[in-house]
């Protein structure tokens, strides 16, 4: 008699990151999802004997998520999950239960119709140094996630024998802004900046510059963001920015018989790593850099 038996079990594809962009003329709408699929059913043979005859590959579950996003769109996470769960249970004889977990990351529209900032607040930071006579105040923010769904391209770059990246004239540009800025106020006898107003205005200028720049490179966008802050905020002499490129790649749906173009709607894979990291400092003319490159 066997001394063990198989208990509850499931398998599937966890954390498929899918971004669906609907283009309603000049106005774009974004659904940013993290989808996890878990399937249960008649899976005794694969556990006991290694027979895959009843096993739908987890890669197929991932492809189904992408394909359904393209075919049905994402009216709501609930309805999208219903479509997926119903499909897996009704299309596969060996599967009698499907669990779909979806996280939706909200995006708030900035200014134009295709620029967004991730819902939820960023983290505000400050570093105060004082030597008994002079102050150095470096404030900042981090975790500010922004995205443009068009008006970004990347081409004309150097290529060598290891280059496989294709040039593109229209791409999603997304990043998680980490910014620090140094105030030129150093002495008690001088009027201090209005700290609350200054923070709100720096944040606004960072967002306005990101949204308003037709980007030929993330480096260009970085400079535009820092330049706008320095030009519009006389109390600030230096801005240091760190912008990881949160890559969004068009999913190849041709093997599934679907076109994934960018004319009306498109499905992207949001990759988390590896990522390009673009960093730089923008200085007021005549100012010396004092913000450290790393903490």
Residues 138-147 as b or e (16 or more Cβ within 10 Å = b): bbbbeebbbb
- Whole-angstrom distance, CA of residue 101 vs CA of residue 108: 23
The H or E element spanning position 122 is none
pLDDT, residue 112, reads 86
* Range(s) of the chain covered by CATH 3.10.270.10: 120-247+271-283
54-70 confidence digits (pLDDT tens): 999 999 999 999 999 99
Which distant-in-sequence residues (6+ apart) come within 8 Å of 34 by Cβ?
A: 15, 16, 17, 102, 103, 104, 105
207-220 confidence digits (pLDDT tens): 999 999 999 999 99
pLDDT, residue 263, reads 75
Q: Residue 1 — very low, low, confident or very high, per pLDDT cuts 50/70/90?
A: confident
Is residue 229 within 8 Å of 205, Cβ to Cβ?
yes
Looking at residues 20-38, what average pLDDT do you find? 94
* Range(s) of the chain covered by CATH 3.30.1130.10: 11-105
Report whether CATH 3.10.270.10 matches the domain 120-247+271-283.
yes
Q: Residue 129 — very low, low, confident or very high, per pLDDT cuts 50/70/90?
A: very high
Active site residues: 13, 58, 247
Sheet holding 95-105, edge to edge: 95-105, 27-41, 11-24, 265-270, 248-250
| pLDDT of 181 strictly over 70 | yes
- Whole-angstrom distance, CA of residue 211 vs CA of residue 225: 10
Lowest mean pLDDT across 60-69, 106-115, 150-159: 106-115
Quick one: fold of 11-105? Answer: GTP Cyclohydrolase I, domain 2 (3.30.1130)
Q: Which residues pair with 15 in a beta bridge?
A: none
- Whole-angstrom distance, CA of residue 291 vs CA of residue 184: 12
pLDDT, residue 138, reads 95
pTM: 0.87
Q: Which two tokens stand for residue 84?
A: 């997926």
Could you tell me how many helices (H) and strands (E) the chain has, helices first?
5, 12
- Phi first, then psi, for residue 136 (nearest 5°) are -130, 120
97-107 confidence digits (pLDDT tens): 999 999 999 99
Is residue 243 within 8 Å of 221, Cβ to Cβ?
yes
Q: Residue 294 — very low, low, confident or very high, per pLDDT cuts 50/70/90?
A: low
């Amino acid at each position: 008699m066997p001394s063990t038996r198989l208990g509850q079990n499931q398998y599937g594809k966890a954390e498929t990151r899918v971004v669906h962009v609907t283009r309603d003329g000049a106005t774009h709408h974004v659904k940013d999802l993290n989808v996890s699929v878990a399937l249960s059913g008649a899976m005794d043979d694969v556990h006991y004997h290694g027979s895959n005859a009843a096993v739908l590959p987890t890669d197929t579950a991932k492809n189904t998520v992408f394909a359904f996003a393209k075919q049905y769109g994402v009216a709501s996470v609930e309805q999208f999950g219903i479509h997926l769960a119903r499909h897996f249970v009704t299309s596969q004889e060996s599967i009698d239960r499907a669990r779909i977990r979806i996280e939706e990351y909200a995006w708030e529209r900035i200014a134009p119709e295709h620029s967004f900032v991730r819902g939820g607040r960023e983290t505000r930071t400050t570093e105060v140094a004082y030597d008994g006579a002079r102050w150095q105040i470096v404030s900042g923010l981090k975790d500010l996630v922004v995205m443009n769904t068009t008006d970004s391209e990347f081409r004309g770059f150097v290529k060598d024998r290891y280059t496989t990246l294709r040039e593109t004239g229209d791409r999603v540009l997304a990043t998680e802004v980490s910014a620090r800025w140094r105030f030129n106020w150093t002495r008690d006898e001088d009027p201090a900046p209005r700290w609350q107003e200054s923070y709100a205005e720096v944040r606004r200028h960072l967002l306005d510059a990101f949204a308003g720049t037709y980007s030929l490179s993330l480096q260009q966008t970085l400079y535009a963001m820092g330049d706008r802050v320095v030009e519009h905020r006389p109390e600030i002499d230096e801005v240091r920015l760190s912008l990881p490129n949160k890559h969004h790649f068009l999913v190849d749906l041709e093997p599934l018989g679907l076109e994934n173009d960018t004319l009306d709607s498109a499905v992207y894979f949001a990759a988390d790593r590896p990522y390009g990291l673009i960093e730089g400092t923008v200085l007021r003319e005549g100012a010396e850099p004092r913000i450290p490159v790393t903490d």
